[in-house]
Amino acid sequence: MHPQLSRQHGPQFHDDAHRHVGARAFATGADIYDDVRPGYPADVVSLLAGAHRVADVGAGTGKLTTALVDAGHEVVASDPSPDMVRVLAARGLPTVRATAETTALADASVDAVACAQTWHWVDTLRASAEFDRVVRPGGKVLLVWNNLDVSHPWIHRLARIMHSGDVHKEGFIPPVAAPWRITHTLRTRWIQHLTPEQIHLLTQTRSYWLRSDEKVRARVTENLRWYLFDRLEFAPGQLLAIPYRCDAFVLER
């Protein structure tokens, strides 16, 4: 029987307070996040072709930021987590601590805003209004998500063991608010290569892990060990192809 795939259009939060608790979990763990979280396909970066100055909001440790700089964009990056900003600033880019709702950017100061693995953590109405303030006329907003591709049965079970709550339903549409509307959608698949040991580290970058106590973490670690080594019989150090979906959305006024 084919596994039950995700039906979520995004992570499920009981209320704003629940969402904030999950987001605040990223106050630690930036070094591991930077080591094992995936980057983004080149097709995603090309969606901002023509935008000179880009604000990467919720940039984390700079996974998308680096790709934008390499593509020739002038980038200012921000994240609310001091630990993420510590790693981000080490890349030598203009970096600030700020949120999507309060970016600290001047009016009409950027050609585009990018949000990678970020939009589900923000207040959609407030962030949309803030982006309207800082993006110049004719500018864009780019929303991007990497999702473990749970159409593969072994990845589906892995995602459940890892408590990867940010796996969106295939074909999902993110909520947006006026004056923004989705004008272009890109959906693509790609592969990240990780060892079983790196998959253990990837688990440690999830909000569920970061906000759990040692007892819960030990249980997750043992479940992963059993699944990867006993059940699937992977070898230590074996390079595994981890399939991802990448969903990107261009917003314009």
Rounded to whole angstroms, the Cα distance separating 132 from 178 reads 9
Q: Is 125 left (phi over 0), alpha (psi -120 to 50) or beta?
A: alpha
Rounded to whole angstroms, the Cα distance separating 51 from 70 reads 14
User: Does the pLDDT at position 191 exceed 90?
Assistant: yes
29 vs 251: which has the higher pLDDT: 251
Q: How does the average pLDDT of the chain come out, rounded?
A: 89
Per-residue pLDDT tens over the stretch 141-184: 999 999 999 999 999 999 999 998 778 999 999 999 999 999 99
Q: Which residue has the tokens 């399939």?
A: 243
Q: Is 17 left (phi over 0), alpha (psi -120 to 50) or beta?
A: alpha
Per-residue pLDDT tens over the stretch 54-71: 999 999 999 999 999 999
pLDDT value of residue 91: 87
The class that CATH gives domain 16-148+167-190+244-252 is: alpha beta
- Return the SS3 of 19: helix
Q: At 3, is the pLDDT very low, low, confident or very high (cuts 50, 70, 90)?
A: very low
DSSP at 229 = I
For residue 67, what is the enclosing H or E element?
A: helix 63-70
pLDDT value of residue 115: 98
Class of residue 37 by CB neighbours under 10 A (exposed 0-12, middle 13-18, buried 19+): middle
Per-residue pLDDT tens over the stretch 108-118: 999 999 999 99
Segment among 14-18, 36-40, 121-125, 237-241 with least mean pLDDT: 14-18
- Domain locations along the chain: 16-148+167-190+244-252
pLDDT value of residue 152: 95
Q: CB of 136 within 8 A of CB of 111?
A: yes
pLDDT value of residue 207: 85
Q: At 15, is the pLDDT very low, low, confident or very high (cuts 50, 70, 90)?
A: very low
pLDDT value of residue 205: 92
Q: Which residues lie closer than 8 Å to 71 by C-beta, 6 or more apart?
A: 45, 46, 48
pLDDT, mean of residues 244-248 = 97
Percent of the chain with pLDDT over 70: 88
Percent of the chain with pLDDT over 90: 82
What type of residue sits at position 185? T
Per-residue pLDDT tens over the stretch 74-118: 999 999 999 999 999 998 888 999 999 999 999 999 999 999 999
- Return the SS3 of 224: helix
pLDDT, mean of residues 193-222 = 95
Q: CB of 91 within 8 A of CB of 68?
A: no
